[in-house]
A and B are shown apart, each in its own frame.
Chain A
């Protein structure tokens, strides 16, 4: 079966600034694919090309089998897109917004109205359905925007930072919606800066930096790239930090990181639980008091740091200027 989304060598330049520098993607039908990266990495540009808002300078892409440039019209009938900020009309009510989108997908009057009501209910907006969107909270607007993307029940869905600015409850309910859609066969491409989100939702994660995919795989595969597990210890006394660090040298498989403020030591290890046991033994011998000890897989933050040399949260330096150039 051909992939629902396929991109080959996408390049997009704004003047001298290269926003996309040859992006390749292949998203199998019925899966969630996450583009993970800092601001300015090229995530939104990629989504804009795939949703026909921008034309690539080079490369080609198909969505649901249609070329993003040559068959843009037919492609648009098969996708739904929800952007970084809610693209909803302030003066219209929630119901009117969704009915308008339905009409523009050419669903017809009755079907548009019916679909609007279904989606308002699904996104817990029934009570606010007939109020102008101007009075909605930020979270309500985002939900309405997402509902707009689902009006035509599209087989391929693009969500550009869908949970940025949502409270934890709203975020969790959005994750449920995505899981439900994928269970029903929808293909979802989402962008996120939240590693937890990509880990939680996506089968495949592409780490994007400076307009290039720098790593691709499942969350577990990416974690594998940064080596084994981590032993994480929280100490009781600040004066123990240096002692503990020296004492743990025999079990560390890499560089131990110590956070003086939280008294937390992170030690890469290669022998799993055995390493945890010996670490605790070594510290007991030095009479270091340990408040908390865990063995865990590396986080995607650590993956990102290893792959790019900077944290996911901080924008890549050269990409920063691009944001202001348009």
Chain B
């Protein structure tokens, strides 16, 4: 199974017992691209991945690799590699056997299989553990075996289903770098499912944000980060301050506050709207008087919850050492305050 130029998902839909888990996903993946499917649990991202892998039949739509239709093929005929959330290592096989399994299934000659297995083990730094059973390894080591097992067959596409979610915070960061490094050195086209926006932003070339089985936005990490397509994406991507209000004559109105912002989407003059701003974009210079209610120490920064004199609650981050009860004046920069239709 060799590479491809384009992998196309065309209106992919999957229903479970009448309910739509994934609706009309259309996406074109270029060779070498790293795509992250991002969304809260139940958004359909894992469904999409399983449909791609062939582990779930589609209820509608089709999947194409260049001019070959894929969605009618069983998983073993698609030539993809997959990393499972629980790793799914074969518990009765050594690390070495786990990794060489795909090669032997594909009929790779023994000598070549041995060479490639050894190389894959070296790539994920498991030389001393090659003969151990998965049960004797730590979580991070198991994860590396799972990745090596998926990439050793040089699949045309690697699918990863929340591969870091079972690791502790420190290991998660390490493995994230490892995955990015592997992607850069091997150039493998990857589809990565996660609910962690930071993971998605740092790993992917392009993000697909899903909610309730529908695509909300497709874009580069920067596009999604700075210009979320709607308030749901904004909410998910770290715009912790979501203020319901009204949009009229180019201003956003709420709780006695009248501010300028950047409208996104079609806003009705005088209609209901939601303003969104990240805590780190709220400034401590401005014209809104507020009192600090909660201050959380976070090392370099303080994360604070403040209440304006008009009763508006906002989250902000600052390197100033704020304490509860402090009086502050805050500002909401117009270019960072996004206004969405409600």
> Are A and B associated in one complex?
no
Residues of B that sit less than 8 Å from A by CB: none
